[in-house]
Structure 1
Amino acid sequence: MELYKAETLLKKYFEGETTINDEQELQDYFASPEVAPHLQQYASLFKHFAVAKGQQYKQEISAFEIHKGENKYKKRNLAWVSIAASVVVLMGIGTYMFYDSETVTKSKDLGTYDDPELAFKATQKALYLLSNNVNVGIESVKYIEEYQIAKNKVFRKQKNKSGGI
């Protein structure tokens, strides 16, 4: 093969534009002893392809594939076990709710007060607890708002740097 043709085919090969016949010509060229010195570095690549073409892969059956059919049954059993566990948990929750609600209905004292001053103090205590919990929630929201503001500043700067809006 002429040196010019070999260089052209090699260029086409690395650009992914060769046909199977072109690649065969390249393999034949690099298998011959007449390879140009500056193309000698590609000879081992094409010799490897020729050797790899002659090799055959013999697949062995692994223990996993033998027991592959058993895995289907295990998956089905796992599904049924998870469904049964869910039913047991739901029944437990239902039983707890049933017996817990009976104790509330049996005791007629539902937090009512006969003395207006005690009722007023209990109401103040409840509203104080509610106020504290709401304030904690509001503080958390303030942190989230500060995070959102900082995040918006950062992303606006990044968009401006990257040529975005």
Structure 2
Amino acid sequence: MVLNNIEKLLEKYENGETSLHEEQQLKNYFLQETVAPHLEMYKPMFTYFQVNKQEQFTKDLPLKTKKVFNYKWIAVAAVAVLTLGYYFKEPAVSSYEEYAYGTYDNPEDALNEVTKQLAMISNHFNKGVSTVNYLDEVNKGTETLGYLNEMENATSIIFKKQ
């Protein structure tokens, strides 16, 4: 009689239809030493529930939060630095000659210097272009692959019609 009752309770338990009192009856039955042989597979599950119920979390949880850096103070410091920089800046230079570094009095010297600099830039540019010339060969290879693809399409049309 008890075994039939336990089997009915197990069926209800598997369907999720048991009450707390019925679940307690199941736990009490499966925590006993003797359990019906065909119900032995449920015993580890209910013993796990009992052991798991007794587990406790023992680690300490920190209740203080970490300090968050306030970025508003960075904006205040930046404004202060800019204000001080504006206040203590050097007086404006009145003449253009003080800023005219690297200028030439003779136009021919200036032309020669510009020509020399442009030749140097051209030389470096040509070195860079020469290292990329292999891309033309890659383009030629992809074009031939395109021809092979067209040939494959034609052969597939021929063989499908036969």
Q: TM-score range by the shorter chain?
A: 0.3 to 0.5
Which one has the bigger helix percentage?
A: 1
The structure with the largest alpha-carbon Rg is: 2
What is the TM-score of this pair, normalised by structure 2?
Answer: 0.43
